[in-house]
Amino acid sequence: MTLFLDSPVLLPPFVRGERPVLERVYRHYVRGVFAMACRSLNTHPSSESMASDAGDIVSETFLRAFADTARKAYDGLRPYRPYLMTIGRNVLRKLAISGRRQVRLDDNDEPYTLDEHTKEPYEHPTIIAATEQFIGTLNEPERSVHRLRYDQGEGQEETAKQLRLSRQQVRTIEAKLRNMLRLHLERLHLIETAPITESL
């Protein structure tokens, strides 16, 4: 989905720099920019967080993309993703020049060919398969919250609005999803049983 081509109505408020639209653009493209940053840093996304170099690259990329000049320079006629990725690569180029990290600078959007060992232990195919199986058992509104929050990366407020829930209800369902998944994986003996903490 190309955001501005599918929803051209978003372009004028985007050019004006209206925060809700900027947030929407951010949420739509952040995972792609993060993946590109990880790829260029030769790391796997599962071993990187937003509090890392990859996160810094994402932040810097969007800061530049949302600056006045960059917003006004985007015409809305071409897909936004390549435009954003070009900005991201410029950020990476600057990092490469600084020599702080080794950066791979190419336009390669290929999937990861990194060694399995670079993945985190929990990203084992058996656990991933069990997680997918668990997601398939969700009921409404758990499934809706999962789709909007975990698949589409929508904010809690937007999710609550679309599902006619309160933000607290969305938060509660997210916590429930985590606990249910943990129990599911524990029952399958795929993860260590979490220690029971007793509250005083």
Partner 1 sequence: MSSLPQKPSLNDAQLDRLLSHGELSPQEVDAGWETLAAKMAPEKATSWMQRLLQVRVLTPVMITACLLLALFVTLKLQPKDDAFTVRGEGGFHAVARCLPSCVPGAKLAFELGDAPQGYLLAWVSQGADTLWIFPDAAGFSPLLAASREAQLIPQAITIPDDWHGAIDITLVIGGSPEREARDAPRARTTLRVSVLDATP
Closest alpha carbon to 104 in 36, 58, 46: 36
Does 141 sit behind a cis peptide bond, omega within 30 degrees of 0 on the bond before it?
Answer: yes
Which three-class secondary structure state does DSSP give residue 77?
coil
Tokens matching residue 160? 């609550």
| 141 touches partner 1 by CB under 8 A | no
- The label of the residue with tokens 């999710």 reads 159
CB of 126 to partner 1, least distance (A): 5
Binders of partner 1 in range 117-136 (CB under 8 A): 120-129, 131-132, 135
Closest alpha carbon to 118 in 14, 166, 47: 47
Stretch near partner 1 under the rule CB under 8 A, chosen from 72-80, 81-89, 92-100, 153-161? 153-161
| 72 touches partner 1 by CB under 8 A | no
For partner 1, the closer of residues 99 and 125 by Cβ is 125
| 191 touches partner 1 by CB under 8 A | yes
For partner 1, the closer of residues 78 and 186 by Cβ is 186
| 14 touches partner 1 by CB under 8 A | no
For partner 1, the closer of residues 43 and 156 by Cβ is 156
Of the residues 15, 53, 66, 143, which one makes contact with partner 1 according to CB under 8 A: 66
- The label of the residue with tokens 């996304």 reads 45
38, burial (CB in 10 Å: exposed 0-12, middle 13-18, buried 19+): buried
Give the whole-angstrom CA distance, residue 103 versus residue 116: 20
Kindly give, in sequence order, each residue whose CB lies less than 8 Å from that of residue 200, ignoring residues fewer than 6 positions away.
Answer: none
| 109 touches partner 1 by CB under 8 A | no
Positions that interact with partner 1 (CB under 8 A): 13, 16-20, 22-23, 26-27, 30-31, 34-35, 45-46, 49-50, 55, 58-59, 62-63, 66, 116, 120-129, 131-132, 135, 146, 149-151, 153-156, 174, 177-178, 181-182, 185, 189-192, 194
